[in-house]
Structure 1
Amino acid sequence: MTYIALGIVLLIVSLILIIADKRATYSRFMSSFSNKGFKQLRIGLPIIAILAIGYGIFHLITYQPPYLDIYVEEGEYTVFGEIGEVGYYAPQLIKKKEEASIHLVFWEPVEIGDNTKLQVTYPSGKSEELDVTLTPIRETNLKHNIQSIYEVSPISFSEKGVADVTIISGNKTIENMEMEIH
Structure 2
Amino acid sequence: MIVLGLTGSIGMGKSTTARMFAEEGVPVHDSDAAVHRLYAGEAAPVVEKLFPGTVVDGAVDRTRLTRAVVGKPDALKALEDLIHPMVRRDADRFVADHRRKGTPLVLLDIPLLFETGGENRVDKIVVVTAPHEVQRERVLSRPGMTEEKFAAILKRQVPDEEKRRRADFIIDTSLGMYAARLAVRDIVGQLTAR
Task: Say which structure is richer in strand.
Answer: 1
Same fold (TM over 0.5): no
Higher helix fraction: Structure 1 or Structure 2?
Answer: 2
Q: TM-score range by the shorter chain?
A: under 0.3
Give the alignment's TM-score, normalised by structure 2. Answer: 0.21
